[in-house]
Amino acid sequence: MAVITGAASGIGLAAARRFAGMGLKVCLADVEEERLQAAAMALAGDAPEGAASVRAVPTDVSRLEDVRKLKDAALEAFGEIAVLMNNAAIGDGGRPWERYDRWRRLIEVNLWGVINGIQVFTQTMIDQGSPCAIINTGSKQGITTPPGDAAYNVTKAGVKVLTEQLAHELRNIAGCRVTAHLLVPGFTFTGLTARSEEKPAAAWMPDEVVDFLLQRLADGDFYVICPDNAVTRDVDNRRMQWAIDDIIKNRPALSRWHPDYKDAFEAFMRSPRP
């Protein structure tokens, strides 16, 4: 069984379709109940076993009790959990000194939602003794932390660190067969990023992200850094390297966007690959 939060649309729904197509039963969770039920009905029409293999559980991941109810409902319906995908997230946060209430809500959903999922499901998955995976959806904004939405960046940076710690702890438990993975999508046309009904040429579709995820999971990768139609892995690598070099070289914070470093950054991006 696969349990997926934020499953009413976007990457979560695309993942549900892929897992169902692989023969897994799926438990969909989302706070938007009407869209969740519609997604479950559509998925049931495509799943090999139909509605019997799909459950929809309205869930606010920021509420620990909701996540506990999600686990209970999933286990009651289908038993053993093969995949937990902590995918639910919201955007539109704010600068460091703005929109206090929005800051709190983003942290509650994007970070505490993942914490709650890990707290509630992990020990049960360990105790199963079977191969299974916890996939947490992060963001490139949690790695290179561009200016513009500090609240969102903070939450996704937290998801990155949390998932790294989870992977370390799991691999140091004797006999543990649970692995952890950090999914880092590129520009993806989803409800979180869409600004129009027409997909931008640079964006991937959610199905492409999930296909890439499954390929990387098969290879055993922890970091699943997705490209898109405009940004290659080499570009991502250079941006991440520049970001960490801000610390190593004692440059100003976010020097990539600092006018004094504009030319140096552009030269770095053009330089021959080491």
Quick: pLDDT tens for 111-131. 999 999 999 999 999 999 999
Burial of 81 (0-12, 13-18, 19+ CB in 10 A): buried
Residues 194 and 245 in one domain: no
First vs last Cα of the chain: how many Å apart? 43
Report pLDDT for 162. 98
Report pLDDT for 193. 54
Residues 176 and 243 in one domain: no
Residues 245 and 271 in one domain: yes
What are the backbone angles phi and psi of residue 202, rounded to the nearest 5°?
A: -75, -20
Residues 272 and 209 in one domain: no
What are the backbone angles phi and psi of residue 13, rounded to the nearest 5°?
A: -70, -40
Question: What does pTM read for this prediction?
Answer: 0.95
Report pLDDT for 196. 56
**Per-residue pLDDT tens digits for 193-233:** 545 578 899 999 999 999 999 999 999 999 999 999 999 99
Average pLDDT over residues 142-161: 98
26 neighbors 43 (Cβ within 8 angstroms): yes
Residues 266 and 179 in one domain: no
Q: Which domain holds residue 156?
A: 2-230
The one catalytic residue in 100, 152, 223, 261 is 152
Told to judge if 223 belongs to the known catalytic residues of this protein, a careful annotator would answer no
Report pLDDT for 274. 64
CATH number of the domain where residue 107 is located: 3.40.50.720
Tokens of 193: 């990023």
CA 30, chain centre distance (Å): 14
Residues 149 and 165 in one domain: yes
- State how many domains the chain has: 2
Average pLDDT over residues 155-173: 98
- pLDDT above 90 covers what percent of the chain? 93
- Give the pLDDT band of residue 47 (cuts 50, 70, 90): confident
Residues 223 and 237 in one domain: no
